[in-house]
Structure 1
Amino acid sequence: MEGTEKPVSALGIEKDLNDWLSVTKSRNGTWWHSAFHNVSAMVGAGILGLPYALSELGWGPGVTLMVLSWVVTLYTMWQMIEMHEMVPGKRLDRYHELGQAAFGEKLGLWIVVPLQMMVQAATDIAFMITGGKCLKKFHDTVCPNCKDIKTTYFIMVYASVQFVLSHLPSFNSIIAVSIAASVMSLSYSAIAWMTCIHKGVIPDVDYSPRSTTTAGMVFSFFSAVGDVSFAFAGHNVILEIQASIPSTPGKPSKKPMWKGAFFSYIVVFLCYFPVAIFGYWAFGNKVEDNVLLSLEKPRWLVAAANMFVVIHVVGSYQVFAIPFFDMVESFLVKKIHFRPTKSLRFITRNLYVAFTMFIGMTFPFFGAIIGFFGGFFFAPTSFFLPCIIWLVVYKPRRFSLSWFTNWFCIIFGVILMTLGPVGGLRQIIVQAKQYKFYS
């Protein structure tokens, strides 16, 4: 294999760079680190919109779609964890490295990087808006007679926290943030569905479709499919989280990673399904796109739930931001030949937080765009791209169980990718007259 090995100096430079980059800087994570990071990534802005999605889908299709999404994405997550070290002597620390191992150096980058970066940026913008809106709801609930303050200013308050936290260097350095976020997700989810049960069914509850026209029902259904896709979008940071766990031939990283990932999916189930089912059960087709907005009393409990959401999305933002920082900083150092310095990190990270804050303030109706992004960008990376890579790499025997399972996931994911953007785009157009920039 003469000529294929890297010079010692190149290996040394690559090691130094890996010691500086966010994803590979620290490898002392454990299974419970994995669990908390995954909960922070999975349970986020999407959960509070699930009762609304269920109201557009109906009981049967809605619950079926959620169960299928839970099972399919758990399976594709297991695949990604298994493929982390499928190349002997190498760890595929980033999603695009997995793509490169399957499709080649250039094609793998072009397939994965645009999708992954769009998912991470779009999710952080959604967290930015969710954090700002929930801060406003907390303020308005605690002080109903106070002067009205624009959501824009609350988004700026939320962003100020991210300007500080974004300078934490690695996944393992944000473990305390992830733990707080995970505890908060369980707390506000429990408050949401328990309060719905306590409140009971509203008078004249209606479980018929929200739209009265056939076209409206069809497109609302499509949009809800995108909303569900968005709720199961944690795969974009799976390999990067696994990269923070130590690995040896005797104790590969996939064992603690899978333990943590499976635990996180139990938490996801306990959060998602009660919120979706009891939220829709209580309010029917009158439920708000954020179920907490439908709950007005008891006031102190609603205020607490909104503050819990704020704390949670603070942590979730960082889980999605760290791989984004890693990709951008790696590109700037390797391709543009910037020096890996604190100044570079300070500038790039502040610019990213400022960008997500600006988009969040300008388009505070970004929640309506989730259906579009959920299908177009989130479905491929979470639902079927891991299956395609699995088929390319392992080549399971045709018509075997593995072959059928992967093709089912691919077809299911492609359907989500097709339907979600159609419904989301139509919803954006219909609601465009109500949009207010910098509101």
Structure 2
Amino acid sequence: MSSFMLEEGSSNKYRAAHDDDERSKRKGTWLTASAHIITAVIGSGVLSLSWAIAQLGWIAGPIALLVFSFITWFTSTLLADCCRDPVTGRRCISYIDAVKTNLGGINNKLCGIAQYSNLVGVSIGYAITSAISMAAIKRSICFHKRGHDAGCHVKNNTFIIIFGVIEIVLSQLPNFHELSALSMIAAVMSFAYSSIGLGLSIAKVAGGTHVRTSLTGTTVGVDVSSTQKIWNCFESLGNIAFAYAFSTVLVEIQDTLRSHPPENEAMKKATSVGISVTTLFYMSCGVLGYAAFGNKAPGNFLTGFGFFEPYWLIDIANVCIIIHLVGAYQVFCQPIFKLVEDWCSNRWPNNSFIKQGSPINLPVLGVYHFSAFRLVWRTAYVIVTTVLAMIFPFFNDILGLLGAAAFWPLTVYFPIKMHIAREKIPTGSFKWIWLYVVIVVCLIISLLAAAGSIEGIVKDLGTFKPFTSES
């Protein structure tokens, strides 16, 4: 009898510590998921929105922001409902897993290529952006001392390396579940620098600065040539798409949520909160940034020196950008880390180097489970992305291309296809037709945005030398 009670007690303890898929109990809530979303969404993309609206103008610019916001929200709610196996009810732990469960065939391989190539690209983009912000701090101090007409140019490579060293340390955090505090801090930082940029734009507009704006944005023959106007408009669509990109990590974020209330409902709430807050900031920063700088809006309004004074406030904003991107880098890298580590564990299940770890008692932080394999592999990944960031330092063009490459397959195509398959929507029905109209229209927009960004990168490649970028 006592033996039975002992076994029953052990079983109850096991159930209390594990979810229905026998993984450790998830503790995430809609609030932590919202923080992850805001950390992922309000990233470096917000800094280029005044430039994007300057290319599109007062009408098309805000409309584009609202359209991308609605599409992202709509398809994210569809994706949130596709994160459990429709037959067994098992949780999907990654985007690839969700596509494999709902669509099967070659779809999960195509999804994997799109998702992980984009995540690598975002890693490189964030290293570039953070380095530009570090350089901007040094430059703003120089401008303050020597005047606004001084060159004050600095090399970016040192700052990219500093960012890489920081990420090597933080990459040793085991998984998404350990990132909640980092995401909370990063989300606060994103609000901080967005608010500073917003406040400075309001101050500049209120100061009576006269800048040239128009309903259609930059003027052909005055600001740009007719050909460049077209390419810039396409590229700006890619920048806006990048600004809303978080579908690449939505499933992984949802996998951190506790089972009760149902995680798909909590994720929908988090998505609504995250995208609503993001859109409010984007509209404010983009529109007021355009009002402040007009058709001459810089590609990055905090590091392109649309603002010079107060220099200390610009420096604080750039420190906030750096801290935010340090956290956002981890949010986007964790799916890559998990994919490789799970694959290696399954491929070599008896390899002690891969499997074994040792607990280390850290003061204040508690017990940390050290893994030599994790240290080697993640350090190698950060080093590779850091080197690539030093080779390809193109801010706006890289953002546009990343946004275009990820938006259609990951934000639009796969969520809608999984929804159609899951709900068994009849081919040729009204709902089936309008969902496919959304897919086709978004594909055209993505192709145009990619073309604009590629044109910009080709132009940049004609003048740059690897490892010599400067701000």
Equivalent residue for 1:173?
A: 178
Equivalent residue for 2:359?
A: none
Write the deviation string for residues 80-121 of structure 1: whole angstroms up to 9, x where unpaired. 1111124233001110011112332x5133111110101111
**Residues 337-346 or 227-236, more deviating:** 337-346
**Residues 41 and 244 in structure 2, CA contact (< 8 A), matched pair in contact too:** yes
**Residues 225 and 420 in structure 1, CA contact (< 8 A), matched pair in contact too:** yes
**Residues 82 and 418 in structure 2, CA contact (< 8 A), matched pair in contact too:** no
Question: 2: CA distance between counterparts of 1:424 and 1:194?
Answer: 30
Q: Please say if 1:31 is aligned against 2:40.
A: no
Q: Please say if 1:343 is aligned against 2:372.
A: yes
Q: Please say if 1:266 is aligned against 2:273.
A: no
Question: 2: CA distance between counterparts of 1:206 and 1:261?
Answer: 34
Equivalent residue for 2:212?
A: 205
Equivalent residue for 2:414?
A: 385
Number of corresponding residues:
415
* Runs (5+) with no aligned partner, structure 2: 1-13, 147-151, 357-370
> What pairs up with 1:148-167 in 2 under 5 angstroms?
149-167=154-172
1:433 deviation in Å?
3.2
Q: Please say if 1:215 is aligned against 2:220.
A: no
* Runs (5+) with no aligned partner, structure 1: 1-14
> What pairs up with 1:39-438 in 2 under 5 angstroms?
39-87=38-86, 88-104=88-104, 106-144=105-143, 149-200=154-205, 202-207=209-214, 208-209=217-218, 212-247=224-259, 251-292=261-302, 293=304, 294-335=306-347, 339-341=354-356, 342-397=371-426, 402-438=431-467
Q: Which runs of 4+ in 1 moved over 6 A?
A: none
Question: 2: CA distance between counterparts of 1:26 and 1:44?
Answer: 30
Question: 2: CA distance between counterparts of 1:85 and 1:307?
Answer: 40
1:401 deviation in Å?
6.5
Are residues 370 and 298 of structure 1, via their aligned partners in 2, closer, same or farther at CA, if it must alter by over 3 Å?
A: same
TM-score using structure 1 length: 0.89
**Residues 107-116 or 423-432, more deviating:** 423-432
1:281 deviation in Å?
1.3
Write the deviation string for residues 329-355 of structure 1: whole angstroms up to 9, x where unpaired. 122222355533412211111111111
**Residues 40 and 332 in structure 2, CA contact (< 8 A), matched pair in contact too:** yes
1:398 deviation in Å?
5.4
Write the deviation string for residues 14-59 of structure 1: whole angstroms up to 9, x where unpaired. x9xxx9xxxx666111111101011111111111011111111222
Question: 1: CA distance between counterparts of 2:355 and 2:395?
Answer: 34
- Higher share in helix: 1
**Residues 135 and 154 in structure 1, CA contact (< 8 A), matched pair in contact too:** yes
**Residues 159 and 353 in structure 1, CA contact (< 8 A), matched pair in contact too:** yes
Q: In terms of Rg, which structure is larger?
A: 2
Secondary structure of 1:90 counterpart = coil
**Residues 204-213 or 259-268, more deviating:** 204-213
Amino acid at match of 1:192: G
Question: 2: CA distance between counterparts of 1:151 and 1:336?
Answer: 40
TM-score using structure 2 length: 0.83
**Residues 360 and 366 in structure 1, CA contact (< 8 A), matched pair in contact too:** no
Tell me the percent identity. Answer: 27
Are residues 204 and 258 of structure 1, via their aligned partners in 2, closer, same or farther at CA, if it must alter by over 3 Å?
A: closer
1:204 deviation in Å?
4.3
Amino acid at match of 1:434: T
Write the deviation string for residues 115-173 of structure 1: whole angstroms up to 9, x where unpaired. 01011111111111111110111122235459864111011112211111111112221
Question: 1: CA distance between counterparts of 2:262 and 2:200?
Answer: 43
Amino acid at match of 2:65: M
Question: 1: CA distance between counterparts of 2:228 and 2:154?
Answer: 34
Question: 2: CA distance between counterparts of 1:129 and 1:32?
Answer: 29
Amino acid at match of 2:49: L
1:210 deviation in Å?
5.7
Are residues 414 and 152 of structure 1, via their aligned partners in 2, closer, same or farther at CA, if it must alter by over 3 Å?
A: same
1:421 deviation in Å?
1.2
Are residues 378 and 119 of structure 1, via their aligned partners in 2, closer, same or farther at CA, if it must alter by over 3 Å?
A: farther
Amino acid at match of 1:288: P
**Residues 211 and 294 in structure 2, CA contact (< 8 A), matched pair in contact too:** no
Amino acid at match of 2:408: A
**Residues 122 and 402 in structure 2, CA contact (< 8 A), matched pair in contact too:** no
Question: 2: CA distance between counterparts of 1:405 and 1:321?
Answer: 34
**Residues 193 and 279 in structure 1, CA contact (< 8 A), matched pair in contact too:** yes
Instruction: Kindly report the root-mean-square deviation, in angstroms, between the aligned alpha carbons of the 2 structures.
Output: 2.2
**Residues 99 and 111 in structure 1, CA contact (< 8 A), matched pair in contact too:** no
**Residues 190-199 or 333-342, more deviating:** 333-342
Secondary structure of 2:44 counterpart = coil
Are residues 173 and 396 of structure 1, via their aligned partners in 2, closer, same or farther at CA, if it must alter by over 3 Å?
A: same
Write the deviation string for residues 50-87 of structure 1: whole angstroms up to 9, x where unpaired. 11111112222221111111001001111111111242
Question: 2: CA distance between counterparts of 1:428 and 1:206?
Answer: 27
Secondary structure of 1:158 counterpart = helix
**Residues 308-317 or 218-227, more deviating:** 218-227
1:245 deviation in Å?
1.3
**Residues 388 and 410 in structure 1, CA contact (< 8 A), matched pair in contact too:** no
Are residues 366 and 283 of structure 1, via their aligned partners in 2, closer, same or farther at CA, if it must alter by over 3 Å?
A: closer
1:400 deviation in Å?
5.8
Amino acid at match of 2:384: F
Are residues 436 and 52 of structure 1, via their aligned partners in 2, closer, same or farther at CA, if it must alter by over 3 Å?
A: farther
**Residues 125 and 398 in structure 2, CA contact (< 8 A), matched pair in contact too:** no
